[in-house]
Amino acid sequence: MSTIDTEQTTDNTDSGAPIRRLAAWDTDSLCNLAAEFETPLYVIDAQRVRENCARLLDAFPAATIRYAIKAHSGQAVLKVIRDAGIDVECASAGEVKAALAAGFNGNRIQYTAVNPPARDLDAIINWWQENKQLTITVGAADTVERLQERGFDGRLCIRVNPNVGAGHHEKVTTGANAKFGIPYERVSELATQWATEFDLVGIHAHAGSGISGEDLSSHEELVRRMGTLARTITECAGSLEFVDVGGGFGVPYRANDPPLDIHTVAERTRDALGTVDATLAIEPGRYVVADAGVLLTRVNTIKSARETTVVGVDAGMTTLLRPAMYDAYHEIENISASPTTDSMPVTIAGPICESSDIFAEGRSISAPTRGDIIAIGTAGAYGYEMASTYNARPRPAEVIYDDNTAKVARRRETRDELDVLETSSDEHSVSLSSVVSHSHSSVAPESTMSSSSTGDTPPGGESQ
């Protein structure tokens, strides 16, 4: 825990605003945090997370709100969200484990299975035995069969593919992607069958991620179809507890882009759903944490190239993948420079041996010198979560500050820790003939390992 004074880390006039721009962060405090905890460093503001949760609760007062953990799964953040009164949606067994560890009860957890590996289902069923109110969302009839084989007969939600998608990039547009959900036209029949075998509690669909005002018509069409489907299922299979229309509510990454009017989104969502005998549910992720985080990185190289000046920094695509993965834009500032420093166009590049390891090209920032701190804004969502150890580079540290105190939420990974999974050549070996024989088998058996044998020990338990 640091004794750094973070009282002025945020501009109090920005408190409660629908979006926090990079300029609203106090640069002196951020530079102090970089000096104290080194770089690359993620910084998360707990109070901003609370403000975003409060805004959602105000806009959707009668809805069930589930935070999509994949945006940021850190324990410190999850506990803030838990205390704010928002539930969670989990896309993996690991995220369910994180939710349980953060103190969410089973009735506040929804697990959305997307082609779930056997070891995920084994772990989920193990936790369900102790948390019978946990809801499992399925996107394939095959997954239902696999759950039945494991003895599941609990709370079931059906993920629907409504053939309507939206989002900031084709790689995050899910509503019309065949990978996600059961085709809309098949759901009523399956719901009628599964209502006799499970506690059928809801239907779910998700258009995509980063939905802006321009995409709201697609979101509305998805919600409209889900309302129609809910009314049909109620007639043929009985009432539902909720209709979940996903999240994906976008935030403006560019300084001049307008923020999403979440109250307008809420009103249009309710109107599109129509009258249903069920509670509306939503699953925001990015909206809750994106503007609550920044990434700090230090300049280590300045190189004059043929057509640009390359500014090398110690963060890279292994630290923040979004620019390389989605061509995503993030605000960037040289926060070490004085207000009178002239600006210049530069290319900001990381240390990874890939041409895609670029944060910005032709971006105008205050002229940097070696050792300056560069701040990358709106980095609280899908930042640390998508970090990797490619090029054998340890993952960064993350600090969270709250009540004028900054503390390490996730410590910096070390180079030595990158080797912990390495084994000696004779530690685990099998004969080549047995491997070949097994690979020729037509269907590989599903895992029947307990959660403890897969490392998925429920929080509070001990490995056997």
Instruction: Output phi, psi for 202, to 5 deg.
Output: -170, 170
Residue 275: name the closest of 306, 234, 311, 316 by CA.
234
Is position 184 annotated in a ligand binding site? no
Is position 382 annotated in a ligand binding site? yes
Distance separating alpha carbons of residues 408 and 252, to the nearest angstrom: 28
Active site residue: 53, 90, 236, 353, which one?
353
Is position 390 annotated in a ligand binding site? no
Is position 286 annotated in a ligand binding site? yes
Is position 284 annotated in a ligand binding site? yes
Distance separating alpha carbons of residues 47 and 24, to the nearest angstrom: 14
Amino acid at 4: I
Instruction: Output phi, psi for 139, to 5 deg.
Output: -115, 15
Is position 285 annotated in a ligand binding site? yes
Distance separating alpha carbons of residues 214 and 210, to the nearest angstrom: 11
Answer whether 160's CB lies under 8 Å from 184's CB: yes
Active site residue 31: no
Residue carrying the six token digits 């040289």: 334
Half-sphere exposure of 417 (CA within 13 A, CB side): 9
Q: How many residues does the chain have?
A: 464
Is position 238 annotated in a ligand binding site? no
Instruction: Output phi, psi for 309, to 5 deg.
Output: -105, 120
Is position 354 annotated in a ligand binding site? yes
Q: Which residues are annotated as a binding site for pyridoxal 5'-phosphate?
A: 248, 283-286, 382
Would you please indicate which residues are annotated as catalytic (active-site) residues? 353
Positions at the binding site: 248, 283-286, 322, 326, 354, 382
The annotated binding site for substrate is made up of 286, 322, 326, 354, 382
